[in-house]
Amino acid sequence: MTTASRLPDSYGQGGGTNLADVLERVLDKGVVIAGDIRINLLDIELLTVKLRLVVASVERAKEMGIDWWEDDPALSSKARRSELARENAELKQRLERLELARGDAGSESGSERDRDRGGEPERDRGSEPERER
């Protein structure tokens, strides 16, 4: 019934699949169903944000030219900024949607949500460059 055997050999689908691809899908995609154990979806969303930040160690990040926490307009390029802005907007949108969804899905842990909402690390960083002027 399946045509799986006809497919070309999968591209690194075995043990070697890169972690970023696996995490991106398993952690960030896939249908969201409220289980009995409500880990805060916001936690997961924030976690992916955090992962993006944490895993890029400062040294590696500099090497890659990601320098947006360094308040140095001379070193940044428009392209990178707009990409970050886009990602930022998208993440915010997603957070909003999740908050809405949580509102519907029963709000047993309302107090936790408030605490979590305080975070928003992306926005804080994004707005920093203005400070220096």
Partner 1 sequence: MRYVYAVCRPLPGPLHADLTGVGGAPPRQLAHEGLVAVLSPVPARDFGLEPLRAHLEDLDWLAETARAHQHVIGALAAVTCPLPLRLATVFRDDSGVRAMLESEHGRLCRILDRIEGHVEWGVKVWLHAEAGGSASAESSSARSSRPRGAPASGRDYLRRRKAQRTAGEEATARAEVFARRLHAELARSAAASRQHPPQSPALAGTGSGLNILNAAYLVPRSYAEEFLELIGRTEGSQPGLRVEVTGPWAAYSFTDDTDDTDDTDDMEGE
Q: Which sign does the torsion angle of CA 31, 37, 38, 43 carry?
A: negative
97 or 123: whose CB is closer to partner 1?
97
Contact 119, 47 (CB under 8 A): no
Binding site for partner 1 (CB under 8 A): 1-4, 6-8, 10-13, 17-33, 35-40, 43-44, 47, 51-52, 55-57, 60-61, 64-65, 77-79, 83, 86-87, 90-91, 97, 100-101, 104
Tell the smallest beta-carbon distance from residue 127 to partner 1 (Å). 19
Query: Of the candidates 39, 42, 34, which has an alpha carbon nearest to the alpha carbon of residue 105?
Result: 34
Residue among 6 and 131 whose Cβ is closer to partner 1: 6
Distance CA 5, CA 126 (A): 47
